[in-house]
Amino acid sequence: MLKKIRLILGIIVLILALFGLITKNFVAQPFMMLGLFAFILVGGIDELNQGKKRRGYVSIFAAIFVFAVVIKTIFP
């Protein structure tokens, strides 16, 4: 189940990133970063479920960092 969610989130993030690069319109960048946050968070949870604690915790920490950057970007 988590693999399907990661795949869907990865496709959404990729589409939003390509939209920004092609059109040079970065209005959707905060939404792309929120998708990236969710993608990394789900990946970290999946790693924890597989028993890879170190990789899981690093991924969750990275997700929290991305979320902090999103908050800082939205509310300057």
Looking at residue 19, its pLDDT comes to 94
Give pTM, 2 decimals: 0.89
Looking at residue 75, its pLDDT comes to 87
Number of domains in the chain: 1
Domain interval for residue 46 = 2-74
Looking at residue 1, its pLDDT comes to 87
How confident is the prediction along the chain (76 residues), in pLDDT tens digits per residue? 888 999 999 999 999 999 999 999 888 899 999 999 999 999 999 999 999 999 999 999 999 999 999 999 888 8
Looking at residue 76, its pLDDT comes to 81
Q: Residues 6 or more apart from 29 whose CB is under 8 A from it?
A: 16, 20, 73
Whether the CA torsion 74, 38, 13, 9 is positive or negative: it is negative
